[in-house]
Amino acid sequence: MVTDPISDMLIRIKNGGYAGKKTVSFPYSKIKYEIAKLLERINYFGDVQKKGRKNIKLIEGEIIYAEGKPAILEIRRISKPGRRVYRKLTEIHGVRSGYGVGVYSTVKGILTDREARQQKVGGELLFEFW
């Protein structure tokens, strides 16, 4: 049994990239689908689709490679079920001097650190990747 489904999703993406897989799939939930769509929107994840029937739904996405390496090299889960981490607008900063991306859950949906600063909202820092 998985205690942290978002972390499971992120590890599947990272491991699939290192294993050279073309696509990766994981169980469906609304927040995981929104995270996958965000990664697709900022070009770190390929085409994202919902698959399956009523009871067994999956999210399937393509892993993007740049020069033979996966676009997502490292992922660090920040906010966990046992320890939630929230950041105010003034506390949101760039990840790895702007080379990485922070993903936030805000009142305006799942946003990157740049989008959260532009829309002037804080929220829960879900994870960072580079």
On whether the CB atoms of residues 113 and 90 are closer than 8 A, the answer is: no
Residue 99 clears pLDDT 80, i.e. is over it: yes
Q: Are residues 90 and 122 in the same domain?
A: yes
Cut 0.95: pTM above it: no
* DSSP SS3 for 55: coil
Instruction: Give, to the nearest 10 degrees, the angle between helix 5-18 and helix 30-41.
Output: 40
User: Rounded to 5 degrees, what are φ and ψ at 86?
Assistant: -110, 145
Secondary structure, 3-state, 38-51? HHHHCCCEEEEEEE
Q: Which domain holds residue 120?
A: 75-129
- Last residue of some domain: 52, 70, 88? 70
Q: pLDDT tens digits for 40-88? A: 999 999 999 999 988 899 999 999 999 999 999 999 999 999 999 999 9
Please count the structural domains in the chain: 2
- Last residue of some domain: 55, 70, 85? 70
Q: Are residues 61 and 108 in the same domain?
A: no
Q: Are residues 124 and 83 in the same domain?
A: yes
